[in-house]
Structure 1
């Protein structure tokens, strides 16, 4: 009877080991995906971050990058802990899983909160950012972001092209008589911003709604990735606890 019980426990331990190994393999791949989403947000979409007054959007991306790196390291540690059957390594592995779980939950919550606040922030700050900082010395990143925004989304100004009448740059001699920046033009040529006819510029389309929709879509991705991977980790923590208990109960 005792031999049967020990054999049953051993079989259970082996099953848990392989389940945890499979989990760690996919967990390692998921870590790469989480890190990729964070890096993609920072690298490819960083131009628009300078148009936001808060750092929440950037913070969620950084959290995902850090979480992704830790996930990949943790996945390797989990494989080692599983096959070496070391309870001390399993404890470290469980703590790391818990830390990653909390990081990703925080990233998901931040993305959700900022999703709710984004519309108000853009309404309050986007016009001022565009009109006060465009072409200003030391604000080249804002200038680049505004030009890219207007060309990529085929828009002009925050609400519409008339916003540019309040621009410090447009009012200055440096503008050379332009009524809007050249990036408002449907076909960019030198000083094309002097002519604000609908055939020449994106006259009726403001950028605020398009930028809001763009960032909200990315916040959905960040939130979904963070919360989704965090939920998957619950299974990893359960498998780890079961394996730890199984190893503890076996004779030495």
Structure 2
């Protein structure tokens, strides 16, 4: 879609003899390239910051807000996180021992939420055993960080591919406009001689 449009515009502009149009196109491609470069740097910087925020706040969010009145969205998010990533607790399943929910009567004797269970059944969180509960090294934080890192790598690879395409278009544009300018000058010179 977008790459095809850029290539099409590049071909049209390289076929035209307008130097100013070629220069404007080159400036637009350069601006897009610089924006992508800045976005890549920001993604890396914010990934580091996000990792620190996860370590600092995920455990607190799980232990203080899980299954609390008015915090239904957090409860759903934590349950989904634990099921999708097959993990239990921010660092490990022991994180739940000090949670507000697990120490209340509402938990009905659970030691972990049911979303920590490999096979979810009612009150399955009462039995904290490796055959029943996800016991992952580093807990949900490690799983979530790995997920983000994997996707950041994919985004980076796509960005590098687009950057290579743009550099190729820069070169194509420059060679095309230089070649056409040389031909135009040659034609003008030959016409003025005749």
TM-score band (shorter)?
0.7 to 0.9
**2:115 aligns to what?**
183
Of residues 168, 175, 179, the one that matches 1:242 is: 175
User: How far apart, CA to CA, are the structure 1 residues paired with 2:12 and 2:72?
Assistant: 49
**2:143 aligns to what?**
210
How many residues are aligned here?
183
Range that drifts further, 234-243 or 80-89: 80-89
SS in 1 for 2:102: helix
User: How far apart, CA to CA, are the structure 1 residues paired with 2:65 and 2:37?
Assistant: 35
Per-residue deviation, 1:191: 2.3
Q: Decide whether the 8 Å contact of 2:110 with 2:125 is kept in 1.
A: yes
CA deviation string 1:37-70 (max 9, x = no partner): xxxxxxxxxxxxxxxxxxxxxxxxxxxxxxxxxx
User: How far apart, CA to CA, are the structure 2 residues paired with 1:85 and 1:134?
Assistant: 66
User: How far apart, CA to CA, are the structure 2 residues paired with 1:121 and 1:96?
Assistant: 36
CA deviation string 1:227-248 (max 9, x = no partner): 3321331221122223333444
SS in 1 for 2:101: helix
**2:192 aligns to what?**
none
User: How far apart, CA to CA, are the structure 2 residues paired with 1:133 and 1:79?
Assistant: 57
Per-residue deviation, 1:182: 0.9
Change (3 A) 1:247 1:134: farther
Structure 1 runs not aligned, ≥5 long: 1-27, 32-70
Per-residue deviation, 1:147: 2.1
Per-residue deviation, 1:158: 0.9
Q: Decide whether the 8 Å contact of 1:112 with 1:223 is kept in 2.
A: no
Q: Decide whether the 8 Å contact of 1:126 with 1:158 is kept in 2.
A: yes
1:167 lines up with 2:94 in the alignment: no
Change (3 A) 1:82 1:244: closer
**1:194 aligns to what?**
126
1:230 lines up with 2:157 in the alignment: no
User: How far apart, CA to CA, are the structure 2 residues paired with 1:83 and 1:175?
Assistant: 72
User: How far apart, CA to CA, are the structure 1 residues paired with 2:75 and 2:151?
Assistant: 22
User: How far apart, CA to CA, are the structure 2 residues paired with 1:220 and 1:139?
Assistant: 33
Output the TM-score relative to the length of structure 2.
0.75
Structure 2 runs not aligned, ≥5 long: 189-194
User: How far apart, CA to CA, are the structure 2 residues paired with 1:227 and 1:154?
Assistant: 32
Output the TM-score relative to the length of structure 1.
0.60
Larger radius of gyration: 2
**1:93 aligns to what?**
25
User: How far apart, CA to CA, are the structure 2 residues paired with 1:125 and 1:134?
Assistant: 13
**1:12 aligns to what?**
none
Q: Decide whether the 8 Å contact of 1:108 with 1:227 is kept in 2.
A: no
Q: CA RMSD in A?
A: 2.9
Change (3 A) 1:153 1:86: same
Change (3 A) 1:91 1:176: farther
